[in-house]
Amino acid sequence: MYEAVRDHLATLLAEASEVGRGLPRYVERDFARYLECGVLAHGFARVRCGSCCCRAPLLTAG
């Protein structure tokens, strides 16, 4: 689904704008946030397992 949104979002926004008022601002914002999710450049957290004290930290993008 990520690839479909990434590849076609600009077209969707342009066509919605041509037809009328476009999409609500929150829809555009949520799509933009969705596309940022999972990209380490947009932030990440370093977490460690508290129960087994894993040596290797895990990176979680968000």
For residue 30, pLDDT beyond 80: yes
Q: Within its chain, how far is the Cα of 24 from the centroid? A: 18
By percentage, how much of the chain surpasses pLDDT 70? 73
- Give ∠ CA 31-37-38 in degrees, rounded to 5: 145
For residue 16, pLDDT beyond 90: yes
Residue ranges of E strands in the chain: 44-47, 58-61
By percentage, how much of the chain surpasses pLDDT 90? 40
pLDDT recorded at residue 21: 84
For residue 54, pLDDT beyond 80: no
User: Quick one: DSSP state of residue 59?
Assistant: E
Whole-prediction pTM value? 0.62
For the chain, counts of helices (H) and of strands (E): 2, 2
